């Protein structure tokens, strides 16, 4: 069974662009090439500047390695510096949808 994370954050309007750029410019995490199955950043259309970051990983070991990576820590740091972390969940993924 695949595993993943869901991270909900609120970013003030003045930091929105910089926050989105932090996801685009970070280098690809080496372990992601084979083990990261899905990676998306969503914005809630009902609540501007509320973002949901979702990743699905092939297995628990790959996810745990990623959670210790500089890339993951950098993105969490961007959330802390630019806005507010609302919720962080580790999830089990039954099926991947495109």
Residue 98 lies in a domain: no
Axis crossing angle, helix 70-82 with helix 16-25, rounded to the nearest 10: 170
Return the pLDDT at 69. 87
pLDDT < 70: residue spans in the chain: 25-33, 95-98
Residue 38 lies in a domain: yes
Total domains in the chain come to: 1
Return the pLDDT at 52. 95
Residue 41 lies in a domain: yes
Euclidean distance between CA atoms 57 and 50, whole angstroms: 23
**This prediction's pTM:** 0.84
Domain that holds residue 36: 2-93
Nearest to 15 by CA among 67, 76, 82, 66: 82
Query: In 26-87, which ranges are continuous DSSP H helix?
Result: 32-35, 60-67, 70-82
Give the CATH number, domain containing residue 36. Answer: 3.30.70.100
């Amino acid at each position: 069974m695949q595993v993943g994370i869901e991270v909900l954050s609120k970013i003030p309007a003045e930091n929105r662009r910089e926050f989105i750029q932090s996801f685009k410019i970070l280098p690809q995490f080496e372990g992601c090439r084979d083990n990261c199955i899905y990676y998306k950043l969503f914005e809630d259309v009902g609540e501007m500047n509320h973002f949901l970051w979702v990743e699905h990983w092939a297995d628990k070991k790959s996810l745990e390695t990623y959670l210790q990576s500089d890339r993951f820590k950098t993105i969490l740091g961007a959330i802390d510096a630019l806005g507010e972390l609302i919720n962080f969940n580790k999830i089990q993924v039954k099926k991947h949808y495109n």
